[in-house]
Amino acid sequence: MSVRPQDVLITGIGVLSPIGSSVSALHDSLLATRSGIRLWQSPSLSKSLPAGVIEEDFAPRFSKLELPYLDRCSQLAMLAAGQAIEDAGIDGFAAHAQRAGLYYGSVAGGVKTEHDWVRQFHVDHLEVSRPYTIMASMLNAAPALISIRHQILGPVITNSSACSSSGAAIGEACRAIRDGHLDIALAGGAEAALTPTFMALWGGLRALAEPDLADVGRSCRPFSVDRSGLVLSEGAVFFVLESRKHAEQRGVDCYARLSGYGIASDGYHIGSPNSKGQAAALRAALQDAQLEPAQIDYFNAHATATRGGDPVEVEAIRDVFANVAATLPVSSTKSIHGHLLGAASAIELAACVLAIADSFLPATAHLEQVDPECDLHHVAGNAQADHAVEHALSLSAGFGGTNVALAVSKEHDLRTRTLLRSDESRS
């Protein structure tokens, strides 16, 4: 592929997740295949559940004037966005006027605030909410607050397409830059929906994993013959995306090039996936990136560890990668960080970026016996170091049938980031 001024480069990453609250911590956990899944409990529920929990209260990082507007989801989003902006070496966006944008994805938004208000209404019999409750609970609260703090004055757009929400946000930001509408964008997603009412909603689907009695960290087992369901998680991941021309003018280095974006809908069922829609998204991303299936060196699967979902995705992978499926390295990092819902695409793209930057293959943890319906070339158990990754592809499939695939490629014409491996960073 020839170098184009509008190529989209990733120049900053911010992470708050169950497996690390920085790029380096995420990198270390992926290399070590270290699980962040713990036992989650609520007095409102009789059953404990595995979940990807960030064990920190972030409220002290905000002022008393800010907190009334800030659901936990917005707190995570603002902090991860700030990390990405700092990582990219940006002081602010005001000088870009309408040439800078913000694209965001979430499923539940300020659901914790909504949960608290419903309890106050029904239990405490309050007839009027506290001031600013609606602003804290609205789905676009986080991007609104980020845009205000960092003066992002161009498009500020919220995407909500279930598990593909942040993928669509990142993809649309990429398109806006490549089509010449923007020079720079902040894109990602956030979720903080570990509330009893929300967990009970998922319990109604019979889709949640049972806690592993020996080790709760092993509760999410994508592709495994003994998988029992998905594990919900919280977190936020953001990227700073820039056109090549803009990054070169700033004189900055980058992680990788966001090379392809594909989006396609199933048109099939609101709750059940369809392999044709997923395959269409994958083909669209490959075409957009000007890549052949054989050029993909790593595939980060959506694989949520559900009985119905994993085999459908495997069918899509076999369809698109027919001639090379037997050698395509595939893994699902949800096995250690769980399902971040609206932020799932973002953290899994980050895993692909780090795989490229440090030449390793993230693994599907706890995959000891593969379900025959899910037979692929799995990276199982432990990450594989010293494995060059030139191009990686990630797929997300959301309820409602919106599928998003993102391709990321090694950048050769601009200075790239150097990452320390776990053993090196401790020496």
Catalytic residues: 163, 302, 339
Closest CA to 169 of 345, 10, 303: 345
The alpha-carbon radius of gyration of the chain (Å, integer) is 20
Token readout for 381 is 């158990």
What letter represents residue 239's amino acid? F
Spatial separation of the C-alpha atoms in residues 427 and 421, rounded to whole Å: 10
Contact 363, 379 (CB under 8 A): yes
CB neighbour list of residue 351: distance below 8 Å, 6 or more residues apart: 26, 30, 300, 333, 362, 394
Token readout for 81 is 């966005």
Spatial separation of the C-alpha atoms in residues 172 and 161, rounded to whole Å: 13
Token readout for 373 is 């319906």
User: 391 in helix, strand or coil?
Assistant: strand
* Phi and psi angles of residue 373, each rounded to the nearest 5 degrees, phi first: -70, -15
- What are the residues facing 157 on neighbouring strands? 103
Spatial separation of the C-alpha atoms in residues 405 and 253, rounded to whole Å: 25
User: 243 in helix, strand or coil?
Assistant: strand
CA distances (Å), origin 55, targets 17, 49, 69, 322 = 10, 15, 22, 42
Residue 394: its H or E element: strand 391-397
* Phi and psi angles of residue 261, each rounded to the nearest 5 degrees, phi first: -140, 125
Closest CA to 80 of 165, 9, 145: 145
Closest CA to 349 of 257, 425, 413, 263: 257
Spatial separation of the C-alpha atoms in residues 71 and 24, rounded to whole Å: 26
Token readout for 127 is 């007839």
User: 235 in helix, strand or coil?
Assistant: strand
